[in-house]
Amino acid sequence: MLLWQYYEVGKSLVIKSLVKHYTKHNLPEVQGPITIVSGKQRRLQFVECPNDINGMIDAAKYADLALLLIDGSYGFKMETFEFLNILQVHGFPKVMGVLTHLDKFKDAKKLKKTKQRLKHRFWTEIYDGAKLFYLSGLIHGKYAKREIHNLARFISVMKFHPLSWRVSHPYLLVDRFEDVTPPERLRLNKKCDRNVTVYGYLRGCNMKKGTKVHIAGVGDYIVAGITGLADPCPLPSAAKKKGLRDKEKLFYAPMSGLGDLLYDKDAVYVNINDHLVQFSKAEFSKADDENRGVTSKGQRQGCDRCYQLSFIPASVGNCFHS
C-alpha cells in the first residue's frame, strides 16, 4: 500500500496511526517498508512515496493501493494530478483519497461545501463513488481513533485485482539490505565494486539465479544467488507456536526501529525487553570463586548479596517498610 502526499500534509502521521491501530505499538519513525498483519489471511505493507517524479514512477509499478493525502484547506495541487496520471499509465491500481487539515475551517457551512467540491473533483479524475475519507484533526498528536478505524476497515475489506504484467514478471520490494563486501577488498580499494544482499518479499513469478534485474536508481545487475528465508512476519494461521506463551508477531519494520532488530548503515541492533533479561541461578562454588578472583570471606559475601538482588521479585522501593 502506497501513501503519497505533497509536502506537509501528514503522510507519516497516517502511517503511525494505522500501525498503532493494527499492532497497538507506537512507531518511532517511518523509514522503509513497514509490514503488518491485518487479519488471519492478510498482510499490509506501508510504503512512503517520494515526491520526485522518478520516485513516483517507480512506486506506481508495485503499488496495489494508493492513498492520496490531500490538504483540505488548499485543495488539489498540480502534483496530485501528475501522480494520478502516472498511476493510470502503469495499470491504475486502487486509489483512495484522504483529506487532512480540515480543522483549519472554522465555518461549518464552508467546510461542507469544500468537502462536496473536492469529492466531485476527485470523482472526475477516477470514477464516480471513489472513496474519499476525512481526517478532521489531531488528538494528542494522533488522528481520532474512530476515523482511523473507519479508514482501516475499508483498507482491510478492499479486494485487489492483480495486473497480468505483474503476475508474469518477478519483482522484489526491498525492506532492508546489507553490504557483504569482504573487508580486505575495501581496505585495498575503497572504490571497488560492492557485494550487496537485499531482503524482501518476492512477488509475481519465480526468480532464477543469473537473472538480470534492474535496481531503481542504480542500474541493471545479474543476480548471483537467491535464498528462501523464513517469513519474518507470518500470518497467524501459518505460524507454528513452540509454546502457549509465544506471541504472534504482528509487524516487521527493520529500518524503522519497531520490533526485535534495527538495521542502519553502521550496525545491527538487537532489542531485548527488560522483563526478559534474567540471570541463571547457578550456585557459587569454590572453583568459581577462584575464577572470579574472590579471595576473602567478606568479598564472597558481597558478591553473593549482589547476585541475589537480581532475583528479588519486588522493586527496591517496596522492600522498605515505614
pLDDT in tens, the chain (322 residues): 777 766 666 678 888 888 888 888 888 778 888 888 887 788 888 888 888 888 888 888 888 888 888 887 787 888 888 888 888 888 888 888 888 887 777 888 888 888 888 888 888 888 888 888 888 877 777 788 888 888 888 888 888 777 888 888 888 888 888 888 888 888 888 888 888 888 888 888 888 888 898 888 888 988 888 888 888 888 876 656 555 444 666 788 887 766 666 555 556 666 666 555 555 544 444 455 555 555 555 555 666 666 666 566 655 555 554 4
Q: How many helices (H) and strands (E) does the chain have?
A: 10, 15
Rg of the chain, C-alpha, whole Å = 26
CB atoms within 10 A of CB 14: 24
Q: Is residue 41 part of a domain?
A: yes
Q: Are residues 187 and 231 in the same domain?
A: yes
Boundary-marking domain end, from 233, 255, 277:
255
Residues pairing with 42 in the sheet: 39
Q: Are residues 84 and 110 in the same domain?
A: yes
Q: How far apart are CA 144 and CA 13, in angstroms?
A: 12
Residue 303: what pLDDT?
62
Q: Are residues 23 and 147 in the same domain?
A: yes
Q: Is residue 266 part of a domain?
A: no
The parent domain of residue 245 ranges over 165-255
Which residue, chain included where needed, has cell 502511517?
15
Q: Is residue 231 part of a domain?
A: yes
Q: What's at 18, amino acid-wise?
A: L
CATH classification at residue 130: 3.40.50.300
Q: Is residue 272 part of a domain?
A: no
Q: Are residues 179 and 292 in the same domain?
A: no
Residue 316: what pLDDT?
53
Residue 240: what pLDDT?
62
Q: How far apart are CA 58 and CA 55, in angstroms?
A: 5
Residue 9: what pLDDT?
65
DSSP assignments along 18-83, one per residue: HHHHHHS---S---S-EEEEEETTEEEEEEEPPSSHHHHHHHHTT-SEEEEEEETTT---HHHHHH
Boundary-marking domain end, from 137, 161, 185:
161
Q: Is residue 268 part of a domain?
A: no
The one-character DSSP state at 253 is B
Which residues 6+ apart lie within 8 Å of 65 measured at CB?
1, 2, 93, 94, 95, 96, 155, 158, 160
Specify the 3-state DSSP secondary structure of 7.
coil
Q: Is residue 277 part of a domain?
A: no
The one-character DSSP state at 163 is -
Q: Are residues 12 and 156 in the same domain?
A: yes
The one-character DSSP state at 226 is -
DSSP assignments along 190-252, one per residue: TTSPP-EEEEEEEESS---TT-EEEETTTEEEE---------SS--TTT---SSTTPPPP-EE
Residue 322: what pLDDT?
44
Among 136, 14, 117, 120, CA closest to 66: 14
Q: Is residue 131 part of a domain?
A: yes
Q: Are residues 17 and 151 in the same domain?
A: yes
Q: Are residues 22 and 145 in the same domain?
A: yes
Q: Are residues 8 and 140 in the same domain?
A: yes
Number of domains in the chain: 3
Among 26, 9, 86, CA closest to 253: 26
